[in-house]
Amino acid sequence: MTSSQEIFTALTKSSLGVSSKIFFNAIVIKIIAVFMGPSGVGLFSQIRQIWQTFTTIGSMNSGAAIIQGISSRVESEKRVFTSSTFWIILSLNLLNSSLILIFDNEISYYFLKSTDNESIQAIRLLSLSTFISVFLIFFSSILNGYRAIGKYSIVIAVGSFTLMILAWPIAIQSSSFGLEFVLILIVSEFLALVICIILLFKNNLFLFNLPPKARFINNVKDFFKTSSILLITGIYTMLVLLFIRIFILDKYGFYSLGIFDAAWLLCMVYVLLITKSFGTYFLPKFSGIEDPIIRNNLINDGLRIVILVSVPIIVIMINIKPFIIRLLYTIEFNESLELMQWMLIGDFFKITSWFLAFTILAYKDMRIFLWSELIFNSALLFGILSAISFFETLEVVGIIFLLITIPYFIFTIRYNQIKHGLKFNKSLLLAIVFAILIITISSIATWNILLIDYRISIINIIISIAFSWFVLNIEEKKSILNFIYRF
């Protein structure tokens, strides 16, 4: 199997799980939007953000650290590493959940703007949801570290499917405090966790045994060396989003928070699909490569595939965004289009820079990772808060997002050039330039549209697909044509 075939195979397996999660979650949001409107979506998104933030804290944002730790070790040391880190995660998870219970009143007041009994109960239940989610992250990361991508996809799909099944009865009767939202998070995460643990033990990928003291200490030190930085950056990233949401909530209420969340989610969800799918392959793959020539070839090949996959998806999103808003939300959410038209351009830089940043984590260059995350997330936070205060419109969120993603994209290129001697081949450089042009022109041609002009949209989409075809190498084209001819 060639390198690109291996990448496409891994991408297909991983994307099935991630895309199913996106599909089921989209139905959940649609149900909430229909029955509860933008205010309901705003409430659900705020609860979800609080949950994700505390889950990040409880897990030490350790997913990448666990994947890297497993991938960089010989077979006999893999289980010793995971069993060592389990006891650390268990202790921190218990502490994290306990703190949520202790400060439930303060969390409810600050993040939900309410101290009603039901709101406080929701936060208390959130401690249980967080406790479960932390272990789901830990155990699913082990599957990812062993590159059991198909099994990993099953776990992702189970949780999101359960969430979808429960969303309709909950949205009908949900109150203004979101207690029922927390309940469905608990059920969906618990079922996914059970499936994950079953798959791990069935394939003998994890042991609860406490390793010998010396090996335990060494593994814990190595884990903290990576995860402590990931914890800081992960928490800061989550807090940045929370502060932005709180600012919008204070200024405009849950209705505008729902408008913001629609744009943010739609512009991030397919980015997650692409980056998560590639991450399950490239993060462990990079961790095991020391030869600079092999690494350079893998970066070039990987970035080429990222571009040929992402450009048609972004162009399709740009051209049918009014339809997507009506399909996944309601016509009440049309204001989200003002943010999306800027953010969709920035998504190209976001996707490619995330791919290029895999090498930072794979080779544990944690100081660079820490400062890059702190600087660019701070710029995003203060840029958005200042722009909203000055211009009094949510559209500036999209503008600031675009302005932040471009320098981060440049930074990741320069980092790989300086640290790893990255050299782009000429065809890849041309692909990057043409990708930016195609996305920009497509955006300009469909700017501020509320109704789709299908003639323009079809032309833009055909151009993007033709671009991807030319970016494919000869062997990839032959494989695709042979696959088509067989049918």
Radius of gyration of the chain (CA): 22
CB 263 within 8 A of CB 399: no
| pLDDT given at position 15 | 59
| pLDDT given at position 353 | 93
- Structural domain for 360, as ranges: 3-485
Q: What are phi and psi of 395, to 5 degrees?
A: -60, -30
Q: Is the pLDDT of residue 23 over 90?
A: no
From CA 177, how far away is CA 169, in angstroms rounded? Answer: 16
| pLDDT given at position 403 | 95
Q: Is the pLDDT of residue 2 over 60?
A: no
pLDDT per residue as tens digits for the range 352-393: 998 898 888 778 788 888 899 999 999 999 999 999 999 988
Burial degree of 39 (CB within 10 A; 0-12, 13-18, 19+): middle
Among residues of the chain, what percentage have pLDDT more than 90?
A: 33
Confidence category of residue 173, pLDDT binned at 50, 70, 90: low
| pLDDT given at position 6 | 60
| pLDDT given at position 260 | 92
Instruction: Find, among 73, 86, 6, the residue nearest to 287 by Cα.
Output: 73
From CA 366, how far away is CA 276, in angstroms rounded? Answer: 20
Q: Is the pLDDT of residue 218 over 70?
A: yes
pLDDT per residue as tens digits for the range 273-287: 777 767 767 777 777
| pLDDT given at position 49 | 86
* Count of the separate structural domains present in the chain: 1
Q: Is the pLDDT of residue 77 over 90?
A: no
Rounded to whole angstroms, what are the CA distances from 208 to 28, 90, 140, 196, 201?
Answer: 36, 12, 15, 15, 10
Rounded to whole angstroms, what are the CA distances from 140 to 91, 144, 189, 197, 445?
Answer: 19, 6, 12, 8, 42
Q: Is the pLDDT of residue 1 over 60?
A: no
| pLDDT given at position 124 | 92
Confidence category of residue 351, pLDDT binned at 50, 70, 90: very high
Instruction: Find, among 118, 89, 94, 91, the residue nearest to 104 by Cα.
Output: 118
Q: Is the pLDDT of residue 130 over 70?
A: yes
Output the DSSP codes for 53-100. Answer: HHHHHHTTT-HHHHHHHHHTS-HHHHHHHHHHHHHHHHHHHHHHHHHH
CB 274 within 8 A of CB 348: no
